[in-house]
Amino acid sequence: MKSVEWLTNKINPVAEGLGCQLWGIQCLPQGHRTLLRIYIDKPGGSTVDDCQRISRQLSAGFEVDPPSAAPYILEVSTPGMDRFLFTPEQYLAYIGQKVQVKLRMAMAGTRQYKGQLVAVDLAAGQISISVMAGAETEPGAVVQVSLTDIQQTRIVPEWH
């Protein structure tokens, strides 16, 4: 699979041309193929029709300039309520929300924290989480995590 930068440069103009924004990209191994999952969004939320239109446009473009020489599956999706966060700017928009953070390597005895996102320091490249759950960390403790140490972050929806 080509780089995320290459994919972003190909996908952004298509998404924006159809009234949406690229939310994020995942490349996930699926046996002998790769699942190329593209998340799109727009004010008011993207629809299944938006996903279909963008998928058709990308498929046509990828026939000419494919993202991979190996087999892949293209999937275009909305981020959903339990959305992944991909960029520092997305983290800023969700300060105060509950998040689930998975780390690349263990920190303080755990690779996973669940809690409230309380701060984002773009200059330092880190986030602060008030921990609800995490091995060897007191609930309510605030931990700082470098963005480069994060494997994935998801919003934890609150249902009222």
For position 135, what pLDDT does the model report?
Answer: 55
The residue-averaged pLDDT of 112-138 equals 87
Residues 69 and 97 in one domain: no
Is the separation of the CB atoms in 84 and 24 below 8 Å? yes
Mean pLDDT value of segment 77-86:
95
> Rounded to an integer, what distance in angstroms lies between the CA atom of residue 11 and that of residue 134?
36
Secondary structure letter of residue 34 according to DSSP: E
Same domain, 61 and 110: no
Q: How confident is the model at residue 107 (pLDDT cuts 50, 70, 90)?
A: confident
Region of residue 33 (phi > 0: left; psi between -120 and 50: alpha; otherwise: beta): beta
> 103 and 73, same structural domain?
no
- Which of 56, 77, 98 marks a domain boundary? 77
H/E segment holding residue 87: none
The model carries a pTM of 0.87
Within-domain flag for 122? yes
Going by pLDDT thresholds of 50, 70 and 90, the confidence category of residue 133 is: low
Give yes or no: residues 72 and 95 share one domain. no
102 vs 10: CA distance, rounded Å: 28
Q: What is the pLDDT of residues 40-76, one digit of tens each?
A: 999 999 999 999 999 999 999 999 998 988 899 999 9
**Using one digit for the tens of pLDDT, what is the confidence trace for 21-50?**
999 999 999 989 999 999 999 999 999 999
